[in-house]
Amino acid sequence: NAGVTQTPKFRILKIGQSMTLQCAQDMNHNYMYWYRQDPGMGLKLIYYSVGAGITDKGEVPNGYNVSRSTTEDFPLRLELAAPSQTSVYFCASSDRSGGDLWAFFGQGTRLTVV
Amino acid sequence: RKEVEQDPGPFNVPEGATVAFNCTYSNSASQSFFWYRQDCRKEPKLLMSVYSSGNEDGRFTAQLNRASQYISLLIRDSKLSDSATYLCVVPELTGAGSYQLTFGKGTKLSVIP
């Protein structure tokens, strides 16, 4: 059981480049989240989804886009990368239908924009 | 904006010591709470959930004080392996009827031999 899988684990981007961070979960969870964590800081919610076809903005959505075409996948798109987007990105999922609100996390993607 | 506040530490304690962390939250409507553990350069992992007055799991005890809007995590007989950052998490209902998880910045614990 893989849980939440994120790819890539590491990436270096040049300013202005674009990329997609992949996230997949095999637990049939309805909720999925994208967070970023800057050094010494807490996790900040970028976007979340309560089910396929439904996405909503979190606390820090600017510069990012998401889609949720399937229950399993929740990719995060960075357009025109900026140094301020250097961070560790975590994808998470939770099974709200079961009444549980806690989330499983992927191993993270470390992104550096230079 | 709802807030979750934690003492950042670091807490440096000797092996075998008892240590407690507090977390305050501003959303009085929150019904459940979580403590996560995050090791250096790793993802957060669920440690304990708190749905009523408290929860105990081995050396770990989580307590909830709704009147004062804080939750605490008590670790007894600290082990070297307990060294990590402990994150307080509060699920909050949005206007659209969905839930967001709000994380505190974490409390760093270092257990010293």
pLDDT tens digits, one per residue of A47-106: 999 999 999 999 999 999 999 999 999 999 999 999 999 999 999 998 875 556 788 999
Q: What are phi and psi of A31, to 5 degrees?
A: -90, 135
Cis omega before residue A75 (within 30°)?
Answer: no
Shortest alpha-carbon distance between residue A61 and chain B (Å): 14
Between chains, do B34 and A105 touch, taking CB under 8 Å as contact? no
Between chains, do B91 and A31 touch, taking CB under 8 Å as contact? no
Quickly count: other Cβ atoms within 10 Å of residue A106's Cβ. 24
Average pLDDT of chain B to the nearest whole number: 90
Shortest alpha-carbon distance between residue A45 and chain B (Å): 8
Q: What is the pLDDT of residues B43-70, one digit of tens each?
A: 999 999 888 778 899 999 999 998 899 9
Q: ∠A94-B41-B33 over CA atoms, to 5°?
A: 35
